[in-house]
Amino acid sequence: MFQIILLLWLTTTESVAKSSLAKPGCQERCGNIDIPYPFGIGPSCSIADGFAVTCNDSFNPPKPFINSINLEVLHNSLNGNVQVNNPVITSNCSGRADGQDVNLLVTPF
């Protein structure tokens, strides 16, 4: 019985791994990063403008950036977590103006 369950699990895992995570007809990866739906690269590939991603080919390998906040995507997981590169010089230090907070009001995040 255990062997049958294991075989079914392995078959399901393999088919999920081979299936595309992007919207049909849309780019699936940018460099080494998977871009699963609801994010997307290209016109009509994301669920909303706040999930639109640009693949910047001027880097080697190319790097994905979330359009609305111009932050590099470092990791994108299927459970809804997105890790971005937000270099912070200073944050909320009195009398210091050399740093910029990220405005998430224009995004769904």
What are the boundaries of each domain within the chain? 21-108
Q: What is the tens place of the pLDDT at every residue in 1-52?
A: 434 444 444 444 444 444 568 899 999 999 999 999 999 999 999 999 989 9
| Ramachandran angles phi, psi of 13, nearest 5° | -60, -40
The reported pTM is 0.68
Q: What is the tens place of the pLDDT at every residue in 55-101?
A: 999 999 999 999 988 999 999 877 767 888 887 766 666 666 555 66
Cα(99)–Cα(21) distance, rounded to whole angstroms?
36
Which residue in the block uniquely carries the two structure tokens 């739906």?
A: 37
Question: Residue 77 is encoded by which pair of tokens?
Answer: 């997981």
